[in-house]
Amino acid sequence: MLVSLVLFLGLLAACGGGNSDPEPSGDAGTNAPEATGDKVIKLGGLFDESGATGDVGAPYAEGERAFFEYINSKGGIDGYEIDFIGEDYAYDTSRAQQVYQALRDRHEVVAVLGWGTADTEALRKQIINDEIPFVSASYSENLKDTGSESGYNFLLAASYSDQGRAILEWINENHEGDSTPRVALVYHEGHPFSESPIQDIKDYAASELAGKVEITPDILIELGDTDPQVTLQSWSRTNEEPDYTIINYTWGQTRNVVRDAKALGWGTQFMGLNWTAGEGLIPSGAENQQWVDVLDGYIGVVTHAFPTEDLPGMAPILEYLESKGRTVDDINQKFVQGWATASIMAEAVSIAIAETDGNVTGPDIKAAIESISNFQLAGLGADVSFASDNHAGTDQIRLGQLKDGEWMMITDYFGIGDY
């Protein structure tokens, strides 16, 4: 009995001891926070670098880390160093819960930069309780609510629903021919991310574009279905092929759908939301040319700039890359997206520091974000504005089209607010 008691106490001591240790230096990418005494502000990060969406999640996380490393090398924000403590949760919602608890209780961060739709939605009630603002890479319309459901969530780009509505407006304006354009929505039913904008897009078509755009029956393909040809074929047995599609997946499944639809002879103009667009849609390697041919003419929503674009906002990124001995070829559009997201958070931190003389808390950051008006990203993304009753920074998007494997912008920033 004694031994078991001693073992048990030892276990407890180990648990307790591990956590009463002085805070670790956190993200190794940043400088040691001890160096500047107590002028440190802690921000948390939830990344997917090795999970189901790691293809886009890893460069996004790298962009966020790079931004804070860059800003710290410039002396931090108003003299305050940012300790950006991030962890990979591998797109596992229950792991996200654990990581979030660690960020909240162990590291006591004042705000979190998150990632996926499912985990962001799963945490939205807790962050209200804990008063920790949460900026996610999910642009789900569910997170727009500013009240009791998701009052501490912020969207830094156009919501998926706004992206879909904007596509409908673009189709309405640019459709050639006399017939009503027929638009098919392609998604995974029951999947929080993929299904998120569908009902809003349908409602918008019914209320604003009745008679101008026709929504066909949905094309339901699961994210894990790597051979969607059968589903497409049975769909086309009872329906005519659509003039346009709005696809909401990430890169891998988008290209499967386009490939199989083209194999069935569809002449559809394929279009998709922001996670379908980007360099990774066309894989490199031996099969590259095959995908360049299949995806030629694909149109995607581009919320943030490509690193190859000549924009004033790229200057600090280039400076950072140069200091690391890297070039723009080593990063992609999702890196820029992560960088831009982090820079908006940095603006909020700067405002909060000015308002509070440095003792920044979660509600201060929330108030700071809500006071941001027309913050310019110098081309890296659409300008954002927030208010206490508006947590969606913008509804502006661009559309890009693939030509010979290269993304070309076919519109300037526009949004449903313009219609």
Check binding of 211 to another protein (CB under 8 A): no
Check binding of 58 to another protein (CB under 8 A): yes
Total residues in contact with another protein, by rule CB under 8 A: 58
Contacts with 275 (C-beta within 8 Å, 6 or more apart), sequence order: 56, 248, 249, 250, 251
Shortest distance, position 379 Cβ to another protein, whole Å: 28
Shortest distance, position 175 Cβ to another protein, whole Å: 30
Given the complex with another protein, which of 97 and 236 has the nearer CB atom?
97
Given the complex with another protein, which of 152 and 193 has the nearer CB atom?
193
Contacts with 149 (C-beta within 8 Å, 6 or more apart), sequence order: 124, 125, 142
Shortest distance, position 77 Cβ to another protein, whole Å: 22
12 vs 178: CA distance, rounded Å = 74
Would strands 244-247 and 299-302 be described as parallel, antiparallel, or unpaired? unpaired
Check binding of 191 to another protein (CB under 8 A): yes
Shortest distance, position 121 Cβ to another protein, whole Å: 6
Scanning residues 300 to 359, which ones bind another protein (CB under 8 A)?
A: none
Check binding of 18 to another protein (CB under 8 A): yes
- DSSP string computed for 24-85: P---TTSPPGGGGTT-EEEEEEEE-SSSTTHHHHHHHHHHHHHHHHHHHHTT-BTTBEEEEE
Given the complex with another protein, which of 61 and 261 has the nearer CB atom?
61
| Residues comprising the chain, all counted | 419
Select from 91-99, 291-299, 302-310, 401-409 the region that touches another protein (CB under 8 A).
Answer: 91-99
- Which of 12, 264, 318, 387 forms a contact with another protein (CB under 8 A)? 12
CA distances from 145 to 228, 274, 336 (A): 35, 21, 27
221 vs 201: CA distance, rounded Å = 18
Given the complex with another protein, which of 89 and 407 has the nearer CB atom?
89
Scanning residues 148 to 177, which ones bind another protein (CB under 8 A)?
A: 149
H or E, element range at 220: strand 219-220
AA identity, residue 255 = R
- Which of 122, 292, 311, 328 forms a contact with another protein (CB under 8 A)? 122
Measured in degrees and rounded to the nearest 5, phi and psi for residue 407 equal -85, 125
Contacts with 225 (C-beta within 8 Å, 6 or more apart), sequence order: 231, 253, 256
Check binding of 202 to another protein (CB under 8 A): no
Select from 7-15, 155-163, 253-261, 407-415 the region that touches another protein (CB under 8 A).
Answer: 7-15
List contacts with another protein (CB under 8 A). 1-5, 8-9, 12, 15-16, 18-20, 24-25, 27-29, 49-50, 58, 61, 65, 87-88, 90, 92-95, 97-99, 101-102, 104-106, 118-119, 121-126, 129, 140, 142, 149, 189-196
